[in-house]
A = this chain, B = another copy of it.
Amino acid sequence: MNVSPEWIAVDWGSSNLRAFAMRGGEPLAESASGEGASGLAREDFEPALLRVIGPWLTEGRVTPVLACGMVGARHGWIEAPYRAVPCAPVAPGETILAPTQDPRLSLRITPGLSQASPADVMRGEETQIAGFLAGEPAFAGALILPGTHSKQARIADGKVLSFSTWMTGELFALLSQGSVLRHSLQSGEGEDLAAFVEGVGIGAEGRALRGLFALRAEGLLEGLPAQAARSRLSGMLIGAELAGFDPGGDCVVIGAGGLARAYLAALRSLGLAARACDGAELARRGLALIQEGKNL
């Protein structure tokens, strides 16, 4: 099957690369690889991209490619600028052209967002936010985008007013895989909701760092099961992220699966109403808006 797209949308984060062959705003085909931006040297980006989108390119024709995410970071393909909040999540006129070798490629990369105080940056999530606001243009409140580096963004009037980044997912990975706690957490897959909610309370009260070693000690002294320890750790870190959180309006968790369910359960246990929105297609939608030249 030959796919001949008008353009190609690329969501290129730290650990994954996802590409969509597009006709207007509609995807014709999708392809992906694990060659995330964080593992690539500058000269590796173009070959990594061609491995994924090569079959969609046509000899003698230039196909426009639009990419968002860590591909535009300082150690990415080329550093794209940041746009300072408060501002619309994306600005079609401000993409930058990346240097390419293959004559079939014309690659543009979208800017990230920055905040002066407290200092913060995002790359990729702004495009997801644009995709979300395309469906809910009047949204006012907070978006939570959980992950390795979880983002909380305040939204009103189609703009990102402010945001904060939390290393929640990375801390969980470091502590559960690389610290002394791994002995107490390993083979603890599955969810223990009561332990998770207990952890959320500990974290929301500012006691997450104090409570870390207790996971080990309770395992040694009381036989705390690995599943409960793992769920409590997850709750403690998410609770710490949500300590003092006030959506100031509607609250949506961008995500799906266990992680989105965990954030919804944490918010609920803190007395906050929220809903989830599957984020899988939002980056593609946001890129389509930029490609069409629509500010949002």
Contacts and interface: CB of A to CB of B under 8 A. Distances in A.
Copies in the complex: 2
A222 B180 contact: no
Interface stretch (A86-94, A117-125, A246-254, A255-263): A117-125
A274 interface: no
A118 B222 CA distance: 12
A170 B179 contact: yes
A166 interface: yes
B209 A208 contact: yes
A30 to B, nearest CB: 28
Contacts of A216: 121
Interface in A213-256: 213-214, 216-218, 220-222, 237, 240-241, 243
A269 B116 CA distance: 27
Contacts of A170: 179-180
A212 B167 CA distance: 7
A114 interface: yes
A109 to B, nearest CB: 16
A165 interface: yes
Contacts of A209: 166-167, 171, 208-209, 237, 240-241
A24 interface: no
A78 interface: no
Given A120-B214, A209-B241, A220 B165 contact: no
A164 B211 CA distance: 10
Contacts of A194: none
A88 to B, nearest CB: 20
Given A114-B221, A180-B167, A120 B174 contact: no
Contacts of A171: 179, 209
A206 interface: yes
A167 B119 contact: no
A119 B221 contact: yes
Interface of A: 74-75, 82, 114-116, 118-121, 149, 164-167, 170-171, 174-175, 178-181, 183, 206, 208-214, 216-218, 220-222, 237, 240-241, 243
10 contacts: A74-B220, A118-B210, A166-B213, A167-B209, A170-B180, A171-B179, A174-B174, A206-B243, A209-B240, A209-B241
